[in-house]
Every structure is written in C-alpha cells, then in structure tokens.
Amino acid sequence: MPILFHAYPLARAALFAMDAETAHEVTLKSLQRAYECGATRSLLHAAPLAPADLMGLRLSNPVGLAAGLDKNGAYVDALGNLGFGFIEVGTVTPRAQPGNPKPRLFRLPRAEALINRLGFNNQGLDAFIANVTRSKWRANGGILGLNIGKNADTPIERAADDYLIGLSGVYPHADYVTVNISSPNTKNLRALQSSDELGGLLAQLQERRKQLADTHGRQVPLAVKIAPDLTAEQVDAIADTLPRYGVDGVIATNTTLSRDAVAGLPHAQETGGLSGPPVHELSLAVISRLRERLGKDFAIIGVGGIVSGRQAREKMAAGANAVQIYTGLIYKGPALVRECVQAVATRGA
C-alpha cells in the first residue's frame, strides 16, 4: 500500500494544528511537490478500475473530486494523481476577486465537517485558463470539469453576463462545464435556482453553447450544481427545467445552511456553507427526488458528506451515476479515494 496512505494521519495532526485555510494551502503545495518528485504516482493506479459513463464521457471510475479544493486550477495534475476518475476545479469568476474577509474556513472535527464562507476567492478567468492549459491531466486521458460562477459585485440581474463569459472562456479546455448557482457565500446567488431565473439563465447558456460547439467542433456537456436546502417542489421545478434547456447533468448538492446536525459544536454558528457528513442525508433526499423526476437516463453526480465507501454506495443507490468528495478527503486523506472506488465497484455484488 502506498506510504502516503499510512502517513496521512500523522500529517493531518500537524495540519489540524494550523488555521484551516493555511493548512489548505500547505496541503496543496505539499501535494504538488510530492507529485513532482513522483511520490504519488502509485496512487493513480491504487484504485481498481470501475469504468463508468457520465454525460457521454467515459470515466476510469465514478469517484471524482468536487470543485472548491482547487479554485484556480493550479493543481490539476497533482490532484488527478490521487486515483480519481474525474476532477472538477473552480469556481472561477470572470475577474479576480479576494473573496470574503478572513477567517472564513472552520473545522468541526467532531462532525468531520467544515464551514466555509470563502466567497469564490480566485485569480480570475485568464489565470485559471493558463493553469488548466499547462496541466497534462486531459492529455493523459483524465476527465476535467471546469466550474464557473459570477463575481460578487455583479448585480444578480446581470449574472448571466458573467456565466456567458465563463462558459466562453473555459469551453475549449473542459470535458464538462458546471454552472454553480448554489454557493451560499455570494449574495443572492441561490435565487438563480428559481424556475424563472434558472430558465432565463439556461436559455442564454444553451444559445452560447451552440455557438461554441460550432466554433470548436464539439459539444461540451453542461451541468448545474444545486443546493441541498431546497423544498421538494423546488427540486421538482429544477428537474423539469434542466432537460428543457439541454442541460446534461446535475450535481447534488452544494453545502448547506442548516445547522441542525451540528448544533452546540464549536464554530457551528459561523456563517457560510456546512459540508461533510451533516450534508449526506440532505443530498440523498435531493438525489432520490431528482432521479424519480428525471428518469433513469439523466446524469446525476452525488456530492456531500462522503467520508467512507458506505456513503459513496448510498449516493449511487439513491440514483447518482457518479460521486464527488471534498471534505472527506481533508479528514480521511487519499486512502478515501480508493475506498470509495472499491465500494461503488462492488455495489450489488
């Protein structure tokens, strides 16, 4: 078994002694150094093959990295080397922005959870594209999703302008594009999930995608990432809207505003989105509702609260075609990728 699997608990103790955002940056830089010296090469092949199809894309396995860990697309190759079947980077906005004031990332270790109010901090579209084009992940057969959002100072009524800029910029470099309308940390962003707002946005994105497909000679799949804090009626409305505008997939779900599962824990009342196991049941409910409404052929990516292979299997059993992890990776380390691949590869066996 690769040595990094055994070393992570010790590394985690050191990382958890740091401020959460500092530890995040140290981890990515350390992972990059490990990749460059070949220390993570064996991880790429540690997970069993579990081929899967997603939005017309062929995956080596259906376990992916969720957006948010690498907002600037600067660590694509290093992250891809951990054994993921696909990775998603971003969220990127047209213009660079610092995000919300620090501190803005908090651990809740007893719940293996995080609260973040980062606010789409990123270096902007030009830097993002430069990073992505330098990476070798896609050239080596990896599947890469690029996640787009709007700038914080763009009025919500002009949000489509930012998404169109983002789609046009990332389109040539993506295997699929995710439209993030569900972060709780950009004012009024979640309003775009309402049926009227969503339909208006998707109509413009679909028209732009047709133009881009003609220009580049290929149609890049489009996914929409939604929140776990939706009523059944809101989920139904989204499920009815997505196919109408040619969307290929839905990512369920983003972080939650609910604190019911972490009440009384240190940092539980910090504002922002809660991720980790407290989101698992919420996302399962949304996935199940989506699958019932969308039928068997529409692509669903399940994310939220996966810290073991069991939760990955439960996401798939609820109706997901693939899963993504993020917070679980921080608490469990790279061994979680292989555990999840093994779990979904053997489901039903």
Give the tens place of pLDDT for each residue, 276-287. 999 999 999 999
At residue 42 the predicted structure's pLDDT band, cuts being 50, 70 and 90, is low
Report d(CA 178, CA 201) in Å as an integer. 13
The residue type at 31: L
At residue 2 the predicted structure's pLDDT band, cuts being 50, 70 and 90, is very low
Strand 176-180 to strand 222-226: parallel, antiparallel, or no bridges (unpaired)?
parallel
The average confidence (pLDDT) of the chain is: 93
* Cβ neighbours around 56 below 10 Å, total: 13
pLDDT of 346 > 80? The answer is: no
3-state secondary structure of 227: coil
Kindly report which listed range (29-33, 199-203, 303-307) carries the lowest average pLDDT score: 29-33
pLDDT of 226 > 90? The answer is: yes
Q: Is 194 a catalytic residue?
A: no
pLDDT digits (tens, 9 = 90+) for 145-199: 999 999 999 999 999 999 999 999 999 999 999 999 999 989 899 999 998 999 9
Task: Select which of 60, 183, 275, 283 is catalytic.
Answer: 183
pLDDT of 118 > 90? The answer is: yes
Report d(CA 341, CA 349) in Å as an integer. 14
pLDDT digits (tens, 9 = 90+) for 52-82: 999 999 999 999 999 999 999 999 999 999 9
Give the E-state strand segments of the chain in sequence order: 52-54, 57-59, 63-65, 86-92, 105-108, 113-116, 143-148, 176-180, 222-226, 249-252, 273-275, 299-303, 322-325
Instruction: Write down the pLDDT at residue 46.
Output: 61
Average pLDDT over residues 306-315: 97
pLDDT digits (tens, 9 = 90+) for 227-277: 999 999 999 999 999 999 999 999 999 999 999 999 999 999 999 999 999
Query: Exposure pattern of 108-134 as b/e (b: 16+ CB <10 Å)?
Result: beebbbbbbbbbbbbbbbeebbebbee
Give the rounded distance of the alpha carbon of 141 from its chain centre: 20
The encoded tokens of residue 281 equal 């049941």
pTM listed for this prediction: 0.94
Instruction: Write down the pLDDT at residue 8.
Output: 79
